[in-house]
Amino acid sequence: MSDELYRDMILELYRNPLNKGVLPDYDAKYQDFSTSCGDDVTVYMKWGSDGRIEFISHDGIGCAISQAAVSLVTDAVKGKTKEEILAMKDTDAITLLGIPISHTRHACATLGLFTLQKAVQSVKDSAEI
């Protein structure tokens, strides 16, 4: 039953997402779109001198599931290194949500994480050039 998805925590994060906004000073910025629904998310990341995430934010439009997921994922990666972020799996995002995610909502639940990983990868790629 899909109603289980919309627990108070999810709705609270939808109305009041964590880490939402534009980071004026960032090391990585990446925008991506969900091919299934057209939702978009832009992530901003700044690393500290120890190579761990110091500041992070996200901006864009999404459903309750994607907004809750990107809130939780951006919180969870604080203090992580690039490699640690790249090692995260889709199941990590779903575990953070703590609700059953159907095949059709998988893209909503993972958009934030995958966008973060693309941001990290883009920084790594440009550093290697």
Partner 1 sequence: MNTLTQTNIKKDFPVFLKHPDLVYLDTGASALTPQPVVDAITRYYTDFPVNIHRGMYDLSQQATEHYDAARRTVAQFLNASFEETIFTSGTTHGLNLAAHLLENTVQKGDVIVLTRMEHHANLIPWQRLAKKRGAVLRFIELKDYAVDMDSARGVIDERTKIVAVTMMSNVLGTKVPVREIAALARHVGAVVVVDAAQGVVHEPVDVQALDCDILALSGHKLYGPCGIGVLYAKKALLEAAEPFFTGGDMIRHVTYEDASWADLPNKFEAGTQHISGAIGLAAAIDYIRGIGWDFIQTHEAELTKYAIDQLRELVTLVGTCDTHTQGGVVSFLIDGTHPHDVGDILAGQGIAVRVGHHCAMPLMRYLNITGTVRASFGVYSTKEDVDALIRGIRHVKEVLHV
| Binding of residue 39 to partner 1 (CB under 8 A) | yes
- Only one of the segments 22-30, 43-51, 60-68, 86-94 lies at the binding site for partner 1 (rule: CB under 8 A); that segment is 60-68
How far is residue 2's CA from residue 103's CA, in Å, rounded to a whole number? 12
Judged by beta carbon, residue 6 or residue 26, the one nearer partner 1 is 6
| Binding of residue 37 to partner 1 (CB under 8 A) | yes
| Binding of residue 3 to partner 1 (CB under 8 A) | yes
| Binding of residue 64 to partner 1 (CB under 8 A) | yes
Amino acid letter, 107 = A
DSSP string, 46-106: EE-TTSSEEEEEEEEE--HHHHHHHHHHHHHTTT--HHHHHT--HHHHHHHHTS---GGGH
| Binding of residue 20 to partner 1 (CB under 8 A) | no
Judged by beta carbon, residue 9 or residue 87, the one nearer partner 1 is 9
Specify the pairing of strand 40-47 against strand 53-61.
antiparallel
**Residues at the site binding partner 1, with contacts judged by CB under 8 A:** 1-3, 5-6, 11, 36-39, 61-66, 104-105, 108
